[in-house]
Structure 1
Amino acid sequence: MTFESLNPATDEVVGTHQVHSAAEVDAAVARARAAAGWWAELGPAGRADRLNQWKVALTRRSAELAAVVQAETGKPRADAMLEIILAIDHTAWAARNAARVLRRKRRSPGLLMANQAATVEYLPLGVIGVVGPWNYPVFTPMGSIAYALAAGNAVVFKPSEYTPGVGQWLVDSFASVVPEQPVFQLVTGFGETGAALCRSGVDKIAFTGSPGTGKKIMATCAETLTPVLIEAGGKDALLVDADADIAAAADAAVWGGISNAGQTCVGVERVYVHTRVYDEFVAAVVAKARAVEVGSQIGPITMPAQVDIIRGHIADALARGGRALVGGEGSGRFVEPTVLVDVPEDSLAVREETFGPTLTITKVESMDEAIAKANDTRYGLGGTVFSRSNGTALARRLRSGMVSVNSVISFAGIPSLPFGGVGDSGFGRIHGPEGLREFARPQAVTRQRFRAPLVLTTFARSKKVDDRVAKLVSLLHGRR
């Protein structure tokens, strides 16, 4: 059985791909299991060498990959290249830092166990199943794939059914530098294929997608106690303080909310602006949003069902007293940039993830009010703060996994920073040292260096020993 991937801008057939059955998924995982041992035995230096070769291949063939991304998502070539460039940089960081982050390190044994040498190191889990999204089909899954590979695991990748060609390209390019074993494999299909991957015996699932699908992934993985990493979208807010650089804040709001046609998990969807600069900010946003060219600067909505959701949110906002200063209309798969004001906080456009090129802008009397409204959501992925004097303090008050101060989405471009959220935005982290450790298991090892004068782990322990230990503990911990 096969299915077709389509260009969302033209409905042209881009490619035909197999719908992999549960048996075929199981076979892929079995092959990965054998390959994982070989990949782990290469050691950190050997794996880093292969990953660096892959990085070179990705870089030299980036225009080719961008064409595949553009064909399957409809996004402009420049946007496709941007996510590829970020993925390359993250791959380079993972290859360069895995050995340092995961290597064996000494830990203090403490006084009671002073005769022991204590160490901890992070070892590969084995086989990682990655379920990727369609909105950033290179950058987002590579945050799991590259880090899992760098940590010594094999990977079985199930891309979105909207972007299977991108997944195939990534797997084929990796095979060109690692031809010996199927370390990185592809399975394609729909929800049933993803469920089969969850049940296949992989050692962990890394998922990016909607909260609803994330809950299904967790429920399926619970059947076998397979651990999961979930990145499940957001409803990110941008805060504009009275002392903010208004031109920069407006530019960040428009790019953060409208780039990639708003189909960005850490994109800006809500803006809270101090009353003293509200009018100036709104005027700047309106001017910038009107200048965005649909079709050349932003592409179509990739997933057909999302169009109705976006338009439903806009219609609900307008019906409840909101005003569209820009946009509010559109036809087909292209949705024009839409700037909404006077939108009630309990409307769909404020409460639910829109995942389209829309912004709601709300006036606040203080940054305390802005923080309260920004945090009044079940999501908690990213956030943005513009303030010349208070940015960091405000950032720390946001209930989110990541915050950019006086810029937008910058945290995603820094490979050393962990990426992930709280609440309905999920849990676990990709990127950075935390991302490497997500795909490894900590192993604690103790080694006795000499026989202790007070041996605690024996039935031959005397009352005299117990008394001495009790006295020692009292001296160590009994005083404030």
Structure 2
Amino acid sequence: MTDMRVEALDVHSPVDGQLIGWLPMATDEDVAGSVLTAREAQPGWAATSAAERGAALKAAAQAIRTHATDLANVIRSETGRPFASAREGVLAGVSTLEQYAELGPVHRGRSLLGAHDATDLMVPEPRGVVVALTPWNDPVAVACGLLGAALVTGNAVVHKPSERCPHTGVLLAQLMVDHFSPGVLQSLTGDGTVGAALASSPHVDVVAHVGGTATGRSIAAACAATGAKALLENGGNDPLLVDADVDPVWAAGQAALGAFTNAGQLCTSVERIFVHQAVSDEFLAALCEEARRWNADPQPLVDVRLREHVHAHVTEAVADGAEPLVGGAIPERDGAFYPATVLDRCTPDMRVMREETFGPVAPVRVVPSFERGLAEACVDEHGLAATVLTASMAHAQQAWRALPVGTVKVNAVFGGAPGGAAQPRRKSGTGFGYGPELLDEMTAVKVVHLGQIQPSSQANRAAS
């Protein structure tokens, strides 16, 4: 029998390379039709009360919570992320939707003090049609942030999940779509060509993208041509500074957590480490022990393509003089596994220090002073996040003011209060990605002046 299926996305397990399944690729007609449907549905959704939109979002969050285990299992099969961590990400997405369900109805404009016989207002309005292009490394949590903020403010959304986790995106859409008016939320599957077609549509008002830098730049160019707003988080090259006055064993635990969690596949993973020479020997010894512990229960990278990218960074660094203390070699086993790797003697010109590796690699540079480490950490084309481990309040103050990034964490590689939002800089993107500020990104302010009709001079004379 002839295979009649359309062009498809084949998804393979990162654990053993076996085919998990396939999904049809959206066509140009699918893209155009989805955008048109969203355009037609959006005015009615915008006219729905903010309270009703919030209630719909809350119902969608509950549906996702009910099926959190199902989503976590799909994420694990497609991306290799451990079940517990995947489920934690799903529940983080639920919390984000619930947060926006509460924040949306109280999102407000303001009045202006004008003439006594007039009213002046600044009113937030939905921008229109939002395209959300979301990644594979934390697919539900990230998608819920963008979808939640866009929907609760009255926009219609066309969502395309990463081609590395399309089944996750399909299930998420199935759980959410029925809670909104027809056409308000749609999901398309496809690779980068589908994302590019959505981003370049002249009928789209916002393109929100979380993913790679090169893709982000092409989206920014497309938005410059169409006039759409680009909302981008494009990864980073996040530094970790280890001061001379901290416990080097504790610091190594923090470094390992930042570099090896989710096999280094987080936007805010630690990508380069600057350690004070006074504690460098103990720090490196402890970091190597941490790496061996992480390697005892390895997690695969999402696919072999990413592993090739990671290994290229490592092999180039070794060729240029870096010393692999742990890891650094592709294991002889099925799947896309790569070991937690510690590199000593790294220099600023190495690609592993200049670019986002996005794998379980900890490149270490020993520096003679905190000031030297801070100066080198500030030299980067990205600007997402940074971490500083120090017992000195003066050094903490100096560092958070100097580091040209959107988020600075002192004495913890992860963490932060709910609702926090930051603006990535330079190659890392533009615009707020979370928090109440994301509601501002999804709306445009309209200034309204309501004046009174003044009686004409003729009418005044006739009345007299």
Q: TM-score, normalised by structure 1?
A: 0.87
Q: Does residue 1:35 correspond to 2:41, yes or no?
A: yes
Which residue of the partner structure matches residue 100 of structure 2? Answer: 94
Query: Paired residue for 1:429, among 432, 441, 446?
Result: 432
Deviations 1:362-419 (A, max 9, x none): 22222221221111110111111112232244222211011111111324xx441114
Which residue of the partner structure matches residue 474 of structure 1? Answer: none
Distance of aligned partners of 1:347 and 1:39 in 2 relative to their CA distance in 1, 3 Å threshold:
same
Is the contact between residue 205 and residue 226 of structure 1 (CA under 8 Å) also seen in structure 2? yes
Q: Does residue 1:382 correspond to 2:385, yes or no?
A: yes
Query: C-alpha distance in 1, partners of 2:113/2:370?
Result: 44
User: Alignment identity in percent?
Assistant: 34
Q: Does residue 1:69 correspond to 2:71, yes or no?
A: no
Query: C-alpha distance in 2, partners of 1:90/1:248?
Result: 31
Q: Does residue 1:199 correspond to 2:200, yes or no?
A: yes
Which residue of the partner structure matches residue 25 of structure 1? Answer: 31
Which residue of the partner structure matches residue 460 of structure 2? Answer: none
Q: CA deviation at 1:114?
A: 6.8
Which residue of the partner structure matches residue 87 of structure 2? Answer: 81
Is the contact between residue 267 and residue 409 of structure 1 (CA under 8 Å) also seen in structure 2? no
Query: C-alpha distance in 2, partners of 1:114/1:327?
Result: 73
| Coordinate RMSD, CA, aligned | 1.9
Consecutive unaligned residues of structure 2, counting only runs of 5 or more, are: 1-5, 455-464
Distance of aligned partners of 1:281 and 1:114 in 2 relative to their CA distance in 1, 3 Å threshold:
farther
Query: C-alpha distance in 2, partners of 1:334/1:66?
Result: 20
Q: CA deviation at 1:115?
A: 6.1
Query: C-alpha distance in 2, partners of 1:240/1:116?
Result: 59
Query: C-alpha distance in 1, partners of 2:287/2:234?
Result: 28
Q: Secondary structure of the residue that 2:139 maps to in structure 1?
A: coil
Query: C-alpha distance in 2, partners of 1:249/1:176?
Result: 47
Distance of aligned partners of 1:392 and 1:55 in 2 relative to their CA distance in 1, 3 Å threshold:
farther
Which residue of the partner structure matches residue 188 of structure 1? Answer: 189
- Name the aligned partner's letter for residue 99 of structure 1: P
Query: C-alpha distance in 2, partners of 1:352/1:128?
Result: 30
Which residue of the partner structure matches residue 108 of structure 2? Answer: 103
Q: Does residue 1:256 correspond to 2:258, yes or no?
A: yes
Which residue of the partner structure matches residue 478 of structure 1? Answer: none
Which residue of the partner structure matches residue 411 of structure 2? Answer: 406
Is the contact between residue 233 and residue 433 of structure 2 (CA under 8 Å) also seen in structure 1? no
Query: C-alpha distance in 1, partners of 2:452/2:257?
Result: 59
Q: Secondary structure of the residue that 1:384 maps to in structure 2?
A: strand
Which residue of the partner structure matches residue 400 of structure 2? Answer: 395
Query: C-alpha distance in 2, partners of 1:377/1:334?
Result: 29
Is the contact between residue 9 and residue 191 of structure 2 (CA under 8 Å) also seen in structure 1? no
Deviations 1:142-167 (A, max 9, x none): 22111111222111011111111111
Is the contact between residue 9 and residue 300 of structure 1 (CA under 8 Å) also seen in structure 2? yes
Is the contact between residue 133 and residue 140 of structure 1 (CA under 8 Å) also seen in structure 2? yes
Query: C-alpha distance in 2, partners of 1:241/1:99?
Result: 45
Q: CA deviation at 1:429?
A: 1.3
Is the contact between residue 245 and residue 387 of structure 1 (CA under 8 Å) also seen in structure 2? no
Q: CA deviation at 1:108?
A: 4.2
Which residue of the partner structure matches residue 459 of structure 1? Answer: none
Query: C-alpha distance in 2, partners of 1:289/1:57?
Result: 38
- Name the aligned partner's letter for residue 78 of structure 1: A
Query: C-alpha distance in 1, partners of 2:312/2:232?
Result: 27
Q: Secondary structure of the residue that 1:94 maps to in structure 2?
A: helix
Per mean C-alpha deviation after superposition, the further-off stretch among 8-17 and 418-427 is 8-17
Which residue of the partner structure matches residue 326 of structure 1? Answer: 326
Query: Paired residue for 1:164, among 163, 166, 188?
Result: 166
Q: CA deviation at 1:20?
A: 1.0
Query: C-alpha distance in 2, partners of 1:357/1:426?
Result: 23
Deviations 1:412-432 (A, max 9, x none): xx4411144101111111111
Is the contact between residue 125 and residue 203 of structure 1 (CA under 8 Å) also seen in structure 2? yes
Q: Secondary structure of the residue that 1:267 maps to in structure 2?
A: coil
Query: Paired residue for 1:227, among 217, 222, 229?
Result: 229
Query: C-alpha distance in 2, partners of 1:419/1:84?
Result: 22
Distance of aligned partners of 1:364 and 1:117 in 2 relative to their CA distance in 1, 3 Å threshold:
farther
Distance of aligned partners of 1:33 and 1:450 in 2 relative to their CA distance in 1, 3 Å threshold:
closer
Deviations 1:315-374 (A, max 9, x none): 111112211111111235100000111111101111111111001112222222122111
Deviations 1:27-81 (A, max 9, x none): 1112212322232222211111111111111112111100010111011112211
Query: C-alpha distance in 1, partners of 2:144/2:108?
Result: 22
Q: Secondary structure of the residue that 1:308 maps to in structure 2?
A: helix
Is the contact between residue 342 and residue 362 of structure 1 (CA under 8 Å) also seen in structure 2? yes
Equivalent residues, number:
442
Query: C-alpha distance in 2, partners of 1:98/1:388?
Result: 40
Query: C-alpha distance in 2, partners of 1:347/1:234?
Result: 16
Query: Paired residue for 2:56, among 28, 50, 56?
Result: 50
Query: Paired residue for 2:149, among 147, 150, 159?
Result: 147
Q: TM-score, normalised by structure 2?
A: 0.90
Q: Secondary structure of the residue that 2:168 maps to in structure 1?
A: helix
Q: CA deviation at 1:141?
A: 2.5
Q: Secondary structure of the residue that 2:99 maps to in structure 1?
A: helix
Is the contact between residue 10 and residue 19 of structure 2 (CA under 8 Å) also seen in structure 1? yes
Which residue of the partner structure matches residue 269 of structure 1? Answer: 271
- Name the aligned partner's letter for residue 241 of structure 2: L
- Name the aligned partner's letter for residue 15 of structure 1: G
